Amino acid sequence: MVANAPTAMTINSSAFAGNVLSARYTCYTSKVTSPPLTWAGAPADTKSIAIVVDDASAPISPSIYWLVFDISPDTTSIPEGSLPSDARVALNSAGTATYEAPCPSGGQHSYRFTVYALNKTLNLPAGTALDTAWQAISNAAIGRGRYTVKAEP
């Protein structure tokens, strides 16, 4: 194991059937909602959890659709369209502090759902700048789980 490599975690969702993101969680639906997620394997010294959803296939990569942080370390899942009361959402690439539904165009895209275990609570305000939240997560990550799914227009 490489020194300082984050502990491997697992992440899953009923929205990822056959490694394809259900259209229900993309812009191709009348009611945009975030997918349910579950995760496991956070290190014992985890102080908070963060979630990042990005499009590695975007022309300017990565395009961040959702960045959530300060989730309690005891939390191991979130239901569809909801977040725990302690969670905060940073600005995404569109400049909104919400789940921005992926909207693949020009062919198939790969979307990464990543859960990070952090060694501290970030204590940043809701709506904090994307770069600020991203750097804070990077600096505090002690565990990581990623699930990559495909979506088509």
Determine the Cα–Cα distance for residues 73 and 98; give it in Å rounded to an integer: 21
Within 10 A of 37 (CB to CB), how many other CB atoms are there?
A: 23
What pLDDT was estimated at residue 60? 63
What pLDDT was estimated at residue 32? 87
In this predicted model, what pLDDT tens digit does every residue of 91-100 receive, in sequence order? Answer: 999 999 999 9
Torsion 134-136-138-141 (CA) sign? negative
Which tokens go with 43? Answer: 């290190």
Domains recognised in the chain with CATH numbers: 7-151 (3.90.280.10)
Reply yes or no on whether the pLDDT at 53 is more than 60.
yes
In this predicted model, what pLDDT tens digit does every residue of 4-33 receive, in sequence order? Answer: 567 899 999 999 999 999 989 999 888 889
Amino acid at 73: P
Reply yes or no on whether the pLDDT at 2 is more than 80.
no
